[in-house]
A and B are shown apart, each in its own frame.
Chain A
Amino acid sequence: MSGLADDALIDYLRAAREAERHDAMKAAVAVLVFGYHDTLMNRARLKLPEPDVADVVSETLASAIASAFDGSSVGEFRSWLHTILSRRIADYHDARTRTPKTAPLPGEHQGDDEVWGAEPSEPFEGDALHARGCLEQAYGELDRDSHRAVIDLYVLHAHSAAETAELVGDGMTEANVHQIASRFQRRFKQLLEEGSDTGEEP
């Protein structure tokens, strides 16, 4: 079961449910939940106070699997899962600025955003809330495919500089990889500081 890709696991779940083999769903659900639980927890820790991390992750996993499972097209499951987590985190922070909600929007399985129901909690400034927009802007400003590939492989994935240079090819060297990554880091930081100076909202 653990060798199956996410989509195959979802298909398996759907088939097991249609056949009313509810016990057969357990293994597939376990592989999906175990496979992403810790990653989601650590992402949430960047943006939420610790006491609320586990609840938000639990809701995220349940909603994402359920809505992927109901036949809606959600694209790649991993992306969908992280999208739901981002929405839950945004809802969480949004809720802090308001009294309890009275008008939620439609559910994710209908393809729209949703206001989830939690009430405001303790104040907390997430570390990665503003940073994400700046990162996307810095990445979008890269004008060469090879430079974007360096950021993808070396910064956002787990390849070493040497591996990245080899994978990108076309004369890319290890030194180039370090230079491109450093320039990207400087630009990202500059955008962060500009945002802080102007008090701009993320």
Chain B
Amino acid sequence: MTDVLQLLSEYKQASRASGDADPRPYLARVSGSDRELLAGLIDAYLEQAPRREFDAERFQGSPAATIAEEVQRSLAGESGIWPALLPQLRRRSELKRSELVRQLAARLGAQAQEQKVGEYYHRMEQGLLPAAGVSDTVLEALGKIVGWTSTALRTAGTLPTPGPPRSDAGAVFARTHRGGAPEGTPGPGGAAPAAEEWDEVDRLFRGAPPSA
């Protein structure tokens, strides 16, 4: 019989050496309650494991780098953790952004303004749209597309407490957005449109128009 503590010891050695030891090959060497036992011990060990020392070379291009970028965007933005969450939900739903936007516009009855809807959605992913202004109607429609509840999306949009407004928000949007706002349309990428230009899509994504 393979000794569980011996396997745990082997796992710990591998984990210390590489910093990333997959536990499953070790679990595969035992079965039944021994497997559960080993899983519980590895779980408890990992929970106590210290933070791994930063290695710039390994970090570059790793999944952790993508997550770090999304977290940084979340902390810098006004949309909670949407910058970390929304791209992931979109990938999980196997939808290209253009397709998600098409469906979102259709669910909002705004097919004629698909591009504008797309620009607002882009700002949600970038952390550039204040989450409080995004209506439940939008979150419900989005939730149905990506398989999440609107309330969970709302909660994700409120973390963390929004920081000061980003002075570079418009510039970031301009740099990252390919299409730009349609001509003659109040652009969701920059300052809010004037109250008289506020349409239903603006209301859905920004809340009430500013008082004139």
Interface residues of A (CB under 8 A from B): 1-2, 6, 13, 17-18, 20, 22, 25-26, 29-39, 41-43, 45-47, 54-55, 57-59, 61-63, 65-67, 69-71, 78, 82, 100-104, 106-107, 109, 114-119, 126-128, 130-132, 134-135, 155-158, 181-182, 185, 188-189, 192-193, 196
In the complex, which residues 108-155 of chain B have their Cβ closer than 8 Å to any Cβ of chain A? 143, 147-149, 151-153, 155
Cβ–Cβ < 8 Å partners of B46 in chain A: 39, 42-43
A46-B42, A117-B148, A132-B43 given as contacts; is B52 within 8 A of A35 (CB)?
A: yes
Shortest Cβ gap from A152 to chain B (Å): 8
* Among B44, B51, B67, B147, contact of A61 (Cβ-Cβ < 8 Å): B67
Pick the most buried of B8, B40, B148, B166: most chain A CB atoms within 10 A of its CB: B40
User: How many pairs of A and B residues are in contact by the CB < 8 Å rule?
Assistant: 223
* Among A59, A115, A131, A158, contact of B88 (Cβ-Cβ < 8 Å): A59
Cβ–Cβ < 8 Å partners of A188 in chain B: 37, 40-41
Cβ–Cβ < 8 Å partners of A32 in chain B: 51, 68
Shortest Cβ gap from B186 to chain A (Å): 26
CA distance A29 to B76 in the complex (A): 11
Shortest Cβ gap from B124 to chain A (Å): 15
A22 touches B68 (CB 8 A): no
A34 touches B68 (CB 8 A): yes
A127 touches B44 (CB 8 A): no
Cβ–Cβ < 8 Å partners of B52 in chain A: 34-36, 38-39
